[in-house]
Chain A
Amino acid sequence: MIRKVWRWMVIIFVLLFLYLPILVLAVYSFTDATNIGAIRGFSVHNYVTLFTTPELRSMIAGTVVLALGSALIATVLGTMGAIGSFYSRKGMASAITTMNQVPVVNADVVTGFSICILLVVVLGISKDTYIPLVAGHVTLCAPFVFLAVIPKLKQMDPSIYEAALDLGATPFTALIRIVIPQIFPGILSGFAMAVTLSLDDYFVATYTKPATFDTISTYVVNATKGAQTTIKTALWALSTVIFLLVVLFSAVMNIRANKEERKTV
């Protein structure tokens, strides 16, 4: 009994640590308050500000477009890389795998800084072209797509590809009609991971973005240094919206996973 109480205390303590700040902020985002602790009336003005201020809207849109765009490129590149390396000779495969591992273990600061040095300082590509930013984010994300796809290739029965060739499909058709559908769950989770990584990134963006462009991360970091309270509290609203979206997304995914499970049982 005592043990059970202890167990629940640990669970609840960690839950509170992880969620209390976000929940408190969510409550206060619906008030006029400019500080936590002050007691003020109900208001949705933070949400109005969030969705009407052009600066905030373009920042959010920019972040999402960047995330989806670079995740898409990363997914195509990473998937091709995974398929290519999986069917290559050992030397080639291990070379790609080793290079792939570098951005995974590296600190984002180092990744961002080194890409900035090469593209901006050495090659002189202007940050305003967005090339360094997109390149940076693709570099950040593609290795994870690669890592998500490789296990699916390993699980796949290698003879189904041969079966497709045997039945008259060209290697290209066999790849599109047989291999890709088989590894699609891996590609999908790689894509999801790429989007998450890009959305969460601060460092690569700081070192490679145009001065006039901001992602949520860079914007929030700068905003906390400033003293503009309307922007500050509007970000509380943004935090709440993202939190709710994550909860919604997780719930949907979980329900779908349960359904799938019941189907197979």
Chain B
Amino acid sequence: MEQTTNIIELKHITKTYEDGYSAVSDFNLEVKQGEFITFLGPSGCGKTTTLRMIAGFDLPTEGEILLNGRPITSLPPNKRPINTVFQRYALFPHMNIYENIAFGLRQKKTPEKVIAKKVKKVLELVDLEGFENRSIDTLSGGQQQRVAIARAVVNEPQILLLDEPLGALDLKMRKEMQLELKEMHRELGITFIYVTHDQEEALTMSDKIVVMSEGKMQQIGTPEDIYNEPINAFVADFIGDSNIFNGIMTGKLKARFCGGEFACVDDVEEGTHITAVVRPEDVTLTSPERGNIRGIVTSVIFKGIHYEITVESGKNEIVAQSVHSARVGDRVGVEVEPDNIHIMIAEDHTNIFAAEINKNYELEYNGTVLPVALTDVIKGSSMLEDGTLVDSRGLEIDPKKIRVKISIKPQDIELTDDQEEGLVQGSISNMIYKGDHYSYVIHTDLEQDFVVNDEYLWNMEDQVGLVMPVEKMIFTVKK
């Protein structure tokens, strides 16, 4: 049965706080009757704020919220036929389970007989028959969660909002509750709006996922759509494991990234800067001659049903999942089927590359020590007198276990004839005139492609040095 009515619509919703911080900006959404929709994103992406605006706890600064076509933007929460399951349950500690569940019905002046009947029924639904007179603090986390759900659904809301409801449960309980919630959704037939930062949870439960970041909707779609066709690098990175590369279209259905040329199925105009996403399970390792690119296996981790194999090719790293093991040091070829390469037009050409930490605890790239202290790069770390690096808790940091990535914007790199002056050297492999400047792709001697904006005209195949001022670099540390 295909439902087509929109139960709730969010139109141009913006929430800006007094200090000027925008939690949500220009958010648009239509939710169909009976859907299970999930807001997915990292903490601080605005998903909870959006939920709170639907519930009525927060008012949007701009925009409109429609329930069944009627505006409810500034209707107080107690007047909305919407109920919430709170993150830490928010059960009333001074009331027993019966009173907790009856609370909403009492507000509607429901006769006591009806209340008793409904409470009994909803307790059956959440598998807590006979718990009426128990007090809240005698319940386990999972049981409290069920009471919180019962307390919300007993009011027969048109929409049930769930704010990371499983966040406080342990892994096993979480898996169980995921299935139960999904079952409950089917049984009740009401619209669920679910908030989580757990991508697996979102993929398992939802009819539709809204991926959010920095207060903006990144992508909306079915779990399959989101996983298979991520719209940008953020979504690709957030949902599942991904290899993400910067690259450029080098011809019709041909893209260059990761130091090699690959055939792809996305028809993007030649010369366009792109982001290419390849899922690790789609990376095939073959003999060196057969691969699109070649590399050396640097690590093999057994993951139960597959091996996670990291291959280094030039300065690029590709992670592959394979049922066949490999040996560290093996020379291998890397192959990817054209339809497993997801090409996105890059909105942002930020160059990202890895730096190394040498034995003196200095950051190094291409054999040059960068004039920046490691203690400034790794937040909260400090250098002891004996030269060991410790984190904010005083634990020693093993430089081999952390990776530092450097991002730098194309306009912050300068090209120079004097190759020795540059941090890295390469040749210009592509150029586009962008009106007031040229956008160059430089293929470096380390087999990486850099995007550089420069107002001067250079020629294809020119050998140049790339000058990158340290103060323009952004360092990210990964353990």
Contacts and interface: CB of A to CB of B under 8 A. Distances in A.
A and B touch in the complex (CB under 8 A): yes
Interface string A144-175: 00000000000001011011111111110110
B55 interface: yes
A168 B77 CA distance: 7
B425 interface: no
A178 interface: yes
A185 B107 CA distance: 25
Contact of A159 (B78, B83, B90, B108): B90
Contacts of A84: none
Contact of A165 (B78, B87, B93, B94): B78
A163 B76 CA distance: 13
Contacts of A182: 93-94
B104 interface: yes
Given A159-B86, A162-B57, A162-B86, A170 B78 contact: yes
Contacts of B86: 159, 162-163
A159 B87 contact: yes
Nearest to A180: B94
Question: For chain B, which range describes its interface: under 10, 10 to 19, 20 to 34, or 35 or more residues?
Answer: 20 to 34
Contacts of B273: none
B92 A160 contact: yes
B193 interface: no
Interface string A201-221: 000000000000000000000
Contacts of A171: 76, 78
B107 A168 contact: yes
A164 B76 CA distance: 12
B94 A181 contact: yes
B361 interface: no
A178 B78 contact: no
Nearest to A89: B18
B163 to A, nearest CB: 9
A157 B107 contact: no
Contact of B83 (A157, A167, A169): A167
A168 B78 contact: yes
B90 A169 contact: no
Contact of A163 (B56, B90, B108): B90
Contact of B104 (A157, A159, A168): A168
Which of B90, B91, B93, B151 has the most chain A CB within a 10 Å cutoff?
A: B90
B103 interface: yes
A160 B90 contact: yes
Nearest to B104: A167
Contacts of B94: 181-182
Contacts of B57: 162, 165-166
B84 interface: yes
Contact of A168 (B87, B90, B91, B155): B155
B165 to A, nearest CB: 12
A165 B76 contact: yes
Interface string B24-63: 0000000000000000000000000000000111000000
Interface of B: 55-57, 76-79, 82-84, 86-88, 90-94, 103-104, 107-108, 151-152, 155
Given A163-B91, A164-B103, 9 more contacts: A160-B93, A163-B84, A163-B92, A165-B77, A166-B77, A166-B83, A168-B155, A170-B78, A174-B78
Interface of A: 157, 159-160, 162-171, 173-174, 177-178, 181-182
18 contacts: A159-B87, A159-B88, A160-B91, A163-B84, A164-B92, A164-B103, A165-B76, A165-B77, A166-B83, A167-B83, A167-B151, A167-B152, A168-B104, A168-B155, A169-B107, A173-B107, A174-B78, A177-B103
